[in-house]
Structure 1
């Protein structure tokens, strides 16, 4: 393999992962149309993904060890998953995703209290920039305060907080459990997503459950989506192991492009001027955040740098 191709493939792997995450809302809406609620769809697809990882990578997971941090990571991943999925099914996809990407604000706050990282001026400025983008997107004279307009947007905001917490906990896990294998982290994330979503199904009624004639299609989408998401996560982690974390963070913003195009093509959702302006602020905050973390990243245990590179989303 030529050096140029060897350098290109990891980038393509991350872009492919971002593309899958940018499209995953559509099969979730298909499941909702077939009668499977957002929480039930989240639980079943996450369970399928977790089972796939446990089967395919069973040798790597055979020597796993449990720790309370893994439970915390599983819960944070569950909040991330259900917030995004439920929001994307019931709300405007692009607005939900932009609220999800308010991670610079939440990451700075969570890292200060959990990782004891000093809250720098640059971190505060980036958090303020991302929040300003959200305010620009959400504000309107009719609604008054710039707050999410419906439960779907609140779900996207909650999912973004869970995503930021997941990334901070991954760094914490790398410090406490430096020998933890990536497969164990992937199984923990998907397993946590399945358990949290299964609990949430108790509070969401299923008025029109899938008909018996549609169960085959529902099972096909659930299993197929689980396998795709688990494979995609493992593929992206391979790419993240070979790409600097700051560059990977920028590449992952390709998800916003795919989401915008797919929402326009499949759902006819076209972002307005306020969504574009607010989204631009959030994207700029994410890009600058990756550069700041590159320049200010402290030296840490050997496993910590790898974990920061591999802190990726394993949704649904």
Structure 2
């Protein structure tokens, strides 16, 4: 009996640590808009910031695990995942720098709804009636968020809206590709994602600079500690994600990760980087509800199968 109690206590402690690790990851992403905006003010466009931080992380991964290159060579399709991850990070980081933070995060978290369509196309997973209803719920929420008194139609209002929607779609694609190539080593997948993000962001910055859309990097010395801190924060958040996601059910992980919306909302409201209106609250609630339902759906399905098996 005592041994069972000890095992249960140890299991509960491990689950709490894993959940805390995921909260750390969500916190870093939820407040990342602030350093990106500060660095933008110091003369570093978010594309340059994304490129620099992710390339540094990719180099660190190479130093720690150079064998990951073999995995990339053996499965070059991983670069597709790296490209999708790059689009995700470029869109999200740019959007939170120039747009209303809460609005951006809510539109970005349409990702679970996009996953229904992407998994159907990429993995051949035919959507269920429940998943289609969640998709409809999320889409209604997006329409409510996008519709403003100034616009007769619920369409993206600015660059940040478009980036947030594109980022959520590419995030869904990234997750589906992670499942498709889940047989590859985690080191190779991480290298593809960080390397792809860094290379794509840097390439986009260079193209934008040639088109006079993105200014050349001109980071002031005062911004260097912040850039270093952001890089370390991303390394820590990824390590926390790897630790937590490996020890908790996917549905639990998805629900805990939704705390990013909470952190983004509180921090942006406190610092005047977001506007809360009844429309945003209503539309955001529908999007979050759809995401929560998507997160708990696998657990509910597993419970039903277990119950039918027991009978």
Name the TM tier (shorter chain): 0.7 to 0.9
Equivalents in 2 of 1:106, 1:29: separation in Å? 28
- Aligned ranges 1:154-169 → 2 under 5 Å: 154-169=162-177
Cα distance, 1:234 vs structure 2: 1.8
Do the aligned residues in 2 keep the contact of 1:47 with 1:226 (CA within 8 Å)?
A: no
| Pairing partner for 1:129 from 123, 137, 156 | 137
Equivalents in 2 of 1:256, 1:130: separation in Å? 15
The equivalent of 1:239 in structure 2 is 244
Do the aligned residues in 1 keep the contact of 2:146 with 2:154 (CA within 8 Å)?
A: yes
Equivalents in 2 of 1:74, 1:53: separation in Å? 14
The equivalent of 2:71 in structure 1 is 64
The equivalent of 1:41 in structure 2 is 49
Equivalents in 2 of 1:140, 1:23: separation in Å? 26
**C-alpha offsets along residues 105-159 of structure 1, whole Å, 9 cap, x if unaligned?**
2111110011000121111111111110011111134301101110111001110
* Superposition CA RMSD, Å: 1.9
Q: Secondary structure at the match of 1:143?
A: coil
What TM-score, normalized to structure 1? 0.86
Do the aligned residues in 2 keep the contact of 1:42 with 1:194 (CA within 8 Å)?
A: yes
Cα distance, 1:274 vs structure 2: 0.8
The equivalent of 1:110 in structure 2 is 118
| Pairing partner for 2:192 from 169, 184, 188 | 188
Count of residues in Structure 1 that have an aligned counterpart in Structure 2:
289
| Pairing partner for 1:257 from 259, 262, 266 | 262
Query: Structure 1 100/277 Cα, relative in aligned 2: closer, same or farther at 3 Å?
Result: same
The equivalent of 1:303 in structure 2 is none
Cα distance, 1:293 vs structure 2: 3.0
Equivalents in 2 of 1:62, 1:94: separation in Å? 38
The equivalent of 1:300 in structure 2 is none
The equivalent of 1:220 in structure 2 is 225
Do the aligned residues in 1 keep the contact of 2:72 with 2:192 (CA within 8 Å)?
A: no
Larger radius of gyration: 2
Q: Secondary structure at the match of 1:64?
A: helix
Q: Secondary structure at the match of 1:54?
A: helix
The equivalent of 1:230 in structure 2 is 235
Do the aligned residues in 1 keep the contact of 2:22 with 2:241 (CA within 8 Å)?
A: yes
Equivalents in 2 of 1:238, 1:120: separation in Å? 31
What TM-score, normalized to structure 2? 0.87
The equivalent of 1:27 in structure 2 is 35
| Pairing partner for 2:201 from 197, 207, 219 | 197
The answer for unaligned runs of 5 or more in structure 1 is 298-316
